[in-house]
Chain A
Amino acid sequence: MTHPKKEIAAAIEYARSKDWRVVEGGSHAWGQMYCPYNDKECRCGEFCRTSIWSTPKSPGNHAKQLRRVVDNCTVHRNKVTNDDEE
């Protein structure tokens, strides 16, 4: 199923495009997303697994938060920087 709020559905698609695993289920949570790297050295460890609300206060803000979690992943960021340098 796709998330009923289109901004959040788009953010989830964005996470999937960066290889995050999305698992549906929960009561207030629509589901959860898991970082693909599962890296012990990761400095943003808590957000390697992030809860996605069904009905957040502001769908637009929640979508932004989820995108930021993906973009802030340090392994992902280093990969992008290395790619840039090549």
Chain B
Amino acid sequence: MTEFDFLLKFDLPDPETDPNKFVDALYEAGCDDAAIGIGQHGRVALNFTREATSALEAVASAIANVKMAIPEARLVEATPDLVGLTDIAQILGCSRQNIRKLVVGNKSIFPSPIHDGNSAIWHLAKVLPWFKAKGNYKIEDNLIEVSCANMQVNIARQMQDLEPAFHRNIKALLA
């Protein structure tokens, strides 16, 4: 068993709902290994430290626990997954300038962002192995595993917006 640290954010059906009213139900549904953030109406955020045999199992079982307590809650995001330069720097424990220099200097071999521009973002799961291969960063394997699991969950969530017919047509073009 390994411990995985991750954060899940959910939208509540009514944006005026005080999430405090779900705290006991979340505890009883098995979220006793999470700190629960209830600072915004219509939202609930859970910072899990969950033991499981894999990160995917940890994240999926955590989502199942929340859905048991609040069936109408909708997952917004699992983090850490989408990251900018500042987030990467913070995760690796170095300065933003340091990371920026590395990314700009290695543009041809650095993993492609999912959005480029003034504030480029990457999937953490794509960039961590690159930094790990460089050798001078201490990156825990369970962080890499959880970032892969979160990427799967977030992509799966976004797939709900994808038109099946269009997907069939575009899939070959994106290969």
Q: Which positions in A face B, CB cutoff 8 Å?
A: 26-29, 32, 35, 44-53, 55-58, 61-62, 64-66, 68-69
The answer to whether B49 touches A64, judged by C-beta atoms less than 8 angstroms apart, is yes
The answer to whether A57 touches B38, judged by C-beta atoms less than 8 angstroms apart, is no
The answer to whether A46 touches B35, judged by C-beta atoms less than 8 angstroms apart, is no
Residue of B nearest to A28 (CB): B27
A44 to chain B: which residues have CB within 8 Å?
37
The answer to whether B44 touches A57, judged by C-beta atoms less than 8 angstroms apart, is no
Q: 16 more A-B contacts (CB under 8 A) besides A28-B24, A45-B39, A49-B20? A: A29-B27, A32-B20, A46-B39, A46-B40, A47-B39, A48-B40, A50-B39, A51-B38, A56-B32, A56-B33, A61-B3, A62-B49, A65-B34, A65-B47, A69-B37, A69-B47
As a 0/1 sequence over residues 2 to 15 of chain B, the CB contacts with chain A under 8 angstroms (1 = contact) are 01000001000000
A35 to chain B: which residues have CB within 8 Å?
39
The answer to whether B37 touches A65, judged by C-beta atoms less than 8 angstroms apart, is no
The answer to whether A46 touches B49, judged by C-beta atoms less than 8 angstroms apart, is no
Binding site secondary structure of chain A:
mixed
- Contacting A at CB under 8 A, from B25-53, are 27-28, 32-40, 43-45, 47, 49
Determine which residue in B32, B35, B37 has the highest number of CB atoms from chain A within 10 A of its CB, and name it. B35
Asked whether B23 is an interface residue with its Cβ less than 8 Å from the other chain, the reply is yes
Neighbour of B45 across the interface among A26, A47, A57, A64, CB < 8 A: A47
Residue of B nearest to A51 (CB): B36
How far is it, in angstroms, between the C-alpha of A29 and the C-alpha of B24 when the chains are bound?
7
How far is it, in angstroms, between the C-alpha of A68 and the C-alpha of B36 when the chains are bound?
12
B9 to chain A: which residues have CB within 8 Å?
46
How far is it, in angstroms, between the C-alpha of A61 and the C-alpha of B49 when the chains are bound?
7
Neighbour of A46 across the interface among B3, B28, B44, CB < 8 A: B44
Neighbour of A50 across the interface among B3, B24, B32, B36, CB < 8 A: B36
B3 to chain A: which residues have CB within 8 Å?
61
